[in-house]
Structure 1
Amino acid sequence: YTTDPDLVKQGANTNRILDEELERLAQDMVKRDPEDREGYKAGFVDFITRWNELLPDIPLYSNIYHDFYNDRIQNYQRTDLARITDTILYAYVTE
């Protein structure tokens, strides 16, 4: 995470939240001694807490996806491995 304008232009801050406190908390985590696991965990909680104060941005990423669509769409069967371009070919809309 960074607020450096040059790095932001290069894509280092993809959500474009510019907050000095959030940057400080991120740097504190990055610079922490790798052996200090409890300190890192506490720093992570502080970082996420601040990030949540700055919502509406979802700070966490996971590999859990949800598809929501109208009941009129039939034969749309997504899987974890299938891309949208593969599954949409067989879907159709009913009245």
Structure 2
Amino acid sequence: MPEKLPDWVVARCRVIGERIRTARRHRELSQEQLANLIAVDRRTIHRYETMQRQPALSMLVLIADALEISLAELMAASNELDMREARADERPSS
């Protein structure tokens, strides 16, 4: 990985962190509650939301599932986050 990421990559990562925070708040979850759902420390969620740390793809999958949104929606280029309930056929079965 390059030492300094291009500005557009940093901006996209920041948007993803904001989306995590927005979706978490919409689901009325604290950072602690989300952290417990995906088995990480609360500080990790804070770091993801503030772009102090970049989540791995596997973490993004877990976060999207816990927040009941698709990974595609979490990663979308649009700044808008559609918080409609996910349909049952869009979510993996447990």
TM-score (norm 1): 0.28
Q: Which has the larger radius of gyration?
A: 1
Question: Which one scores higher on RCO, CA 8 angstroms, separation ≥ 6?
Answer: 2
Q: Which has the higher strand share?
A: 1
> Given the two structures, how large is their TM-score scaled by the length of structure 2?
0.28
